[in-house]
Amino acid sequence: MKILSKPTAIELFSGAGGLSIGLEIAGFNVVLANEIEKNFAETFKLNHPNTKMICDDICNIDFAQEMQILDFSEIDLISGGPPCQGFSTVGSKNAKDPRNNLFYEYLRAVNEIRPKYIIFENVSGFKSMYNGNAFKTLVTEFDLLGYFTRSSILEASNFGLPQLRKRTIIVGWKKELPKAELPDYQWDNFFKLSLIDAISDLPELKANDKKCEYKCEPQNEYQKKLRNGQEELTEHNSSDYGEKMLEILSLIPTGGTINDLPERLRPKKYFANTYARLFPDKPAPTITRNFGTPSSSRCVHPFQNRALSTREGARLQGFPDSYKFFGSKTSKNLQIGNAVPPIFGEVIAKEIIKSINQIETFKKTLHADMFIEEHEVFN
């Protein structure tokens, strides 16, 4: 059997790999990942070459067999969350949506692998879905499998992300092991990072424009962390807008919305955040797959007449600038918008590492006590 110095993790429903970034920063070795979408899986493989990626429907995976192939006797952590489209408070709430049953596949993986710890993440509305039945069912199933659980709704901006993004987090641990805590928030409202804190070093773009050089040196620790010595700027591009769109964008004030436009430029039907300009001095609202489409949500650059670039979206999610995305621009934006911010993986995994270290400390203490007893017997 393989023995690694780092604790091991398996990520399910991995997407582009945001959660895995955080797990690796915290100290985990992600040995296996699963993602059904090809472009997402290719992005994961580009950035996590040492992790085995299974690009397939999770229903087709024999996890017991995969454990034999990997040659591991046990795994420290299983993490991930089913696709959120079926659960989201924004999207469909159709109880018959097959994606709503994918958490049973997550449970199957836990049952077959029996990791020491688990992380289950999903949209903020997960705990209240279907009158709370989805959450109750999941926690009950974890209990039957031999895991205690703890849950909370975490806000990403409280942990240093320049974006307002809430996720339901459930951590679990085998009942015979030290419990896993949930992280305490690290940033208060006064010191939260703003949108401009994340992107002020990126050059100006006009319509149908692309830039490959940074505007300046990193302006703060957040930019320094994500650039990490990166010299070439990638994925910083804008769409090609027509004359009407450019006029619309030019008339939206800072923090403004479609209601600030003259009647002649407003569509007959629209959402409140259609053609809405971002506030530079506040955390960005939740990034979605449509952050590059001005008509879809509040995603218009605070000063420039365009939507956010792919790199700006990645910055707001906490992806390092060196991270490579595979596929079309639409696919890349989807991968970014659907991702779990790496900071969530990092702060949660660090708490689990503390619990794992308690196990190792106990083992060492037990071994030392046994050695002393044996020594006393022979003397």
pLDDT (0 to 100) of residue 158: 95
Spatial distance between the Cα atoms of 133 and 298, rounded to a whole number of angstroms = 32
CB atoms within 10 A of CB 236: 23
Look at the alpha carbons of 273, 314, 124, 60 in this order and tell me if their dihedral is positive or negative.
positive
| Three-class secondary structure assignment of 109-161 | HHHHHCCCEEEEEEEHHHHHHHHHHHHHHHHHHHHHCCEEEEEEEEEHHHHCC
pLDDT one digit per residue (tens) for the chain, 379 residues? 555 589 999 999 999 999 999 999 999 999 999 999 999 999 999 999 999 999 999 999 999 999 999 998 899 999 999 865 454 444 445 555 655 578 889 999 999 999 999 999 999 999 988 888 889 989 999 999 999 999 999 999 999 999 999 999 999 999 999 999 999 877 666 689 999 999 999 999 999 999 999 999 999 999 999 999 999 999 999 999 999 999 999 999 999 999 999 999 988 777 778 899 999 999 999 999 999 999 888 999 999 999 999 999 999 999 999 999 999 999 999 999 999 999 999 999 999 999 999 987 656 554 444 445 555 555 5
pLDDT for the residue 371:
46
Query: What pLDDT was estimated at residue 368?
Result: 47
pLDDT at 48: 98
Q: What is the DSSP letter of 376?
A: H
Report the pLDDT value the prediction gives residue 366, as an integer from 0 to 100: 47
Token code pair at residue 296: 């879809």
Do residues 109 and 58 touch, judged by C-beta distance below 8 A?
yes
**Number of neighbouring beta carbons within 10 Å of residue 189:** 8
Return all residues near 260 (Cβ < 8 A) that are at least 6 apart: 251, 252, 253
Q: What is the pTM of this model?
A: 0.90
Active site residues: 84
- CA distances to 62, 113, 118, 175 from 144, rounded to whole Å, are 21, 15, 14, 11
Neighbours of 379 (CB within 10 A): 5
What's the burial of 182, exposed, middle or buried (CB within 10 Å: 0-12/13-18/19+)? middle
C-alpha to C-alpha distance for 60 and 253, rounded to whole angstroms? 51
First-to-last C-alpha distance (Å) of the chain: 37
Residues near 173 by beta carbon (within 8 Å), at least 6 away in sequence: 116, 117, 118, 147, 148, 179, 180, 352, 355
Instruction: State residue 318's pLDDT score.
Output: 99
At 187 the pLDDT is 67
The Cα–Cα gap between 81 and 338 comes to: 11
- Look at domain 8-186+341-366 and name its CATH class: alpha beta
Rounded Cα distance between 287 and 203, Å, is 21
Residue 248: what pLDDT? 94
Concatenated DSSP letters of 264-314: GGS-SS--TTTTEEPPTTSPBPPP-TTTT-TTTSEEE-SSSSSBPPHHHHH
**pLDDT value of residue 362:** 58
